[in-house]
Each structure stands twice: as C-alpha cells, then as structure tokens.
C-alpha cells in the first residue's frame, strides 16, 4: 500500500517501473498470442471463403462470356453467309425465296436435306435451289410447311451442264460425295480443261440455263476407252450452307447475270 501511495504521488519509483517493464513484457506478449492466433485463423477462414465465393462467381462469369463469344462467332458466320446470299439474290433476275435448312437425311447413301419452306410458300416439285455460290439441287417433295431437296451430289441426280469457256455440253452426275461430281460420256477429244467452270445448260427444262454448278478438277484420258474420266468440285457449299434461294422462273433457259459464276482469269 505504501509503494502504491508513493508511486501515485512521486516519481521516485519510475525507474523501477521502467525496469520491471522489461521483465513482464514477454508475459504480456505471450498473453496476447492466443487472441492473435484466433484472429488470424478467423481472418484466414473468412478470406478463404471469400476467395472461394469470388472464384465461383468468376468461373460462372467466364463460362457465360465464353458461351456468348461462341454465339457471337456463330452469328458472325451466319451474317456473312446471309450477306453473300443477299448479294447472290441481287444478281439473279428471277424471283427468289430465302429458305433455311431444318434437317439432313440420315441415310448415308442419299444427299438430301429438309428446308423450312413448303407448298404454302409457293414451293413446287422440280424447283431449283441455290446457295450463295452455285446450284445446290432441286425440290423433290413438297409438304405444306417444309420441302425435301435432292442435292446435285446425290448418286441419283444428273444435270445437263456446259463448259462456260466454250459451250461444250456434258452430263454431271452425283457420286454420293458432297465434294465431287462426275461428268459422263465425255469424248476423249472434248475441249475440257482443269479449272473450267461448268454451268447449267438449260436442256431438259428442269434448271434454268447459266447457273454455276461445278469446277473441273481432273481430266484423264484412258487409253482404249472412248470416254475421258472427268470429275468436278461443286461450287455450292453442300456441306456447310444453311440458307438457300428457291428460284421462281417463268422462262426456261434464262441466263442469270455473269457475275454470279464468272470464272477467274
């Protein structure tokens, strides 16, 4: 009690207090360790929960952005195709109707597709179908709201064509492959070269004259045989196009503008 009274009224014991501080400091620090550890663990657990929550939110946002980016890429490709189709429709003198693919025939031995236009839209059997690059096929079956299209690559399809360079006529038949057509009964002496553009000749009355069909990619003269082996690559993107033009033509044998199928020099 005396020491407390002296310490509260005089400064005599200040050096003693200061020295005792060195002795009790470790005990004071040791006493605060449990509280500091509890706060550290609590902050760490809170920070971990916050980081996990933030990571989930960022992952979800990244997934949404990736999906949007994929969708934007699809829309960009579709817009490019529609612009090309619009350009092609402007170059065709005949009245046209835009259609889209709805399904593909699962039969591996046929090359047929279903489009979203039918009899209610004026579609008729035998109607020519184009994409932005060339002749794709013809309508073979019509329902009220949909139609079936036989593509030029189908093995049961044949179309009269002529070489755009010199007018030599031939018959282009489907091979079952979307990337190849075959010209049949071509004499060995026929003036057909690799790179020649083949267009519809209009013979037979099914297709109007002058629409681009294929580009010759191989000409082989086989010794001892009267006909050459000629194959061509369709100009239409048979395996990729999603939008098409249905052509309404009242005149057989009309020639669409040359810009639609003009050959490269």
Let me know: does 157 contact 168? Beta carbons within 8 Å.
Answer: no
**Residue 255: its pLDDT value, please?**
39
pLDDT in tens, the chain (265 residues): 776 776 666 666 667 666 666 676 676 667 677 766 767 666 677 777 888 888 877 777 776 666 566 555 545 565 666 666 666 555 555 678 889 999 998 887 889 999 999 999 999 999 999 888 889 999 999 999 999 999 999 999 999 999 998 889 999 999 999 999 999 999 988 899 999 999 998 887 788 888 889 999 999 988 888 899 999 999 999 988 888 889 887 543 343 433 334 433 3
Backbone angles phi, psi at 108, to 5 degrees: -70, -15
**For residue 233, how many C-alpha atoms fall within 13 Å in the half-sphere facing its CB?**
11
Q: Which residues pair with 170 in a beta bridge?
A: 161
Tokens at residue 244, please? 């098409």
CA R_g for the chain: 40
Beta strands in 156-262, from DSSP E residues, in sequence order: 158-163, 169-174, 181-187, 197-200, 212-220, 227-234, 243-248
Q: What is the number of residues in the chain? A: 265
- In angstroms, the CA 211 to CA 61 distance is 49
């Amino acid at each position: 009690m005396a020491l407390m009274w002296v310490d509260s009224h005089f400064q005599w014991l200040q050096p003693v207090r200061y020295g005792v501080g060195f002795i009790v400091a470790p005990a004071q620090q040791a006493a605060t360790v449990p509280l500091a550890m509890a706060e550290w663990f609590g902050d760490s657990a809170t920070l971990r929960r916050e980081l996990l929550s933030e990571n989930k939110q960022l992952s979800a946002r990244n997934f949404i952005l990736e999906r949007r980016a994929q969708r934007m890429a699809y829309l960009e490709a579709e817009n490019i195709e529609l612009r090309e189709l619009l350009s092609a429709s402007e170059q065709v003198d005949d009245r046209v109707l835009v259609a889209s693919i709805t399904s593909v025939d699962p039969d591996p031995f046929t090359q047929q597709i279903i489009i979203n236009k039918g009899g209610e839209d004026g579609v008729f059997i035998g109607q020519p179908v184009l994409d932005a690059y060339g002749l794709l096929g013809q309508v073979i079956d019509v329902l009220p709201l949909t139609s079936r299209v036989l593509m030029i690559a189908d093995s049961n399809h044949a179309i009269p064509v002529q070489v755009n360079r010199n007018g030599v006529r031939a018959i282009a038949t489907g091979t079952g492959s979307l990337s190849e057509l075959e010209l049949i009964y071509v004499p060995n002496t026929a003036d057909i070269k690799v790179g020649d553009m083949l267009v519809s000749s209009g013979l037979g009355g099914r297709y109007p004259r002058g629409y681009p069909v294929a580009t010759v990619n191989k000409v082989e003269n086989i010794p001892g045989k009267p006909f050459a082996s000629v194959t061509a690559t369709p100009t239409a993107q048979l395996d990729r196009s999603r939008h098409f033009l249905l052509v309404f033509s009242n005149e057989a044998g009309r020639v669409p503008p040359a810009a639609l199928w003009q050959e490269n020099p």
